[in-house]
Structure 1
C-alpha cells in the first residue's frame, strides 16, 4: 500500500497551469527523487502533497495517520530574534532536552542546543532543519532542495545521512533536487517533471529516456556505470507527451 499517491492531479495558479494529470505513488521505505527544470512544477507538487495548495483536478490519497516530516528549501529567521537551536526544535511542542540532544547528534551537529539559530552555518542549519523534521518520527520525509547552498562534500554527506535514516527508520523519502549526479546514486526511483510526469523509473531507465535527455542532455549518463544500489524497481515508465513550460 502506498503512503501517499496522486491520481490525475492538476494544479493551477489563476490562469497558469502548474501541473497536469500527475499520477505518482510513494511506498514505505523507498527513496524517490523529483527532478525537472526550473518552473517544471516540483515545488508545486510538494506543496500539494503537504496540503498547502488545493488541486484544480484529481485527488491525493494518504495512508491513515500518515505523518510527514518536511525540510524546506530555505527558512527565513529574523536575525533580531533570540532563538536557540534547542528552543527552535521545541516549537510548537516542547521536546525533552535529551531527545533534542540525541537528534542533533544523529544528524551530525551535536552540542548545538544553546547556539543561536542565526549563528549557524548553512550546512549546520540544514541539519538542524532535518533534526526538527525527524523529531516527529515521520512515515514520509520530504526534502525540498535541502542541500541548496552546501558544497560538494557537504551534499554527499547529507545524502549519505538520508540513506542511513531510511535504513534505520523505514521512512519513505521524497527529495526535490538539482544535484543530478548524486541523486542518481541515492535514489530508488526518479520522477522527472515538466508540467507533467514526462519520465519515471529506476535511475538507469530515466537517464536513458529521450525525455530526460531532451531536458538535461547526456551529462549524467557516464555516472550511471557506478550505480550500485540494491533496490531495483519493476515499474519504469516514460511517456511521450509534449512538455510545455509551466511555472511552479
Structure 2
C-alpha cells in the first residue's frame, strides 16, 4: 500500500517527462510520470505508463489512463477517475468522487463525505472517515465501510457476488440475495430478483450523477438487523 508519506517522497523526484508546472491543465507523457496539482483548480490527465498523480489546493479533476496509476485527491472536493488498468485511487480531505473504471482497482474514500464506486473489474472499495456512499461495480467486489455512517449499494445489474463489511458507524446496506453481508452491518435491505433500484448506472457514469447520490439513504430496512448475513442463505461471512 502506498502511503501519503511515500507519495510525498515520490513528488520530490521530478523525473524526465514529469510535469509539475503551475497551470490549470496538466498532461502526462508516455513515460511513468509524477504529476502534482497547483493552487488552482486543475485538470490532470495521466497518459501511458504507471503514473503517480496528486491534487493540491484547488478543486481538481484527476484522470487515469493506460498503466497502473496511483491517483490521490488534494485538499478540496476532487474527482478521481481511474483508467483501464489496475489503479489505486485515494480521496483526500474534501468531499470527493472516486470512481474506478477498467481493471481491478483499489478505491478509497478520504476524510470527507465521499462517493466511491468500483468499475468493471474485481475491485476493493473502502469508505473513509466521513459518511460515505459506496457502490460496488461490475465484477466480484469487496466493499468495506469506514468509521462514518455509510450507505453501501451492491450492483444490481450483474450476477457477481460482492462481499460487504461495515465499519464503526451506523451503516445502511442495499444488497442482493447472492451477496455476502457481514454481521457488522446494522441495517440491510435485500433486493428482490430483477430489482435494479440501487444500480447507479454504467460504471462510466458522469461524476455529477454520483455526487448527487451522496448522502442519499435508500435503505428501507427489512428487519435483517445484525442477523442474516450471507444474504442468500443467512450465514455470516467470515
Q: Same fold (TM over 0.5)?
A: no
**TM-score, normalised via structure 2 length:** 0.30
Higher RCO (Cα < 8 Å, 6 or more apart): 1
Q: Which has the higher helix share?
A: 1
**TM-score, normalised via structure 1 length:** 0.29
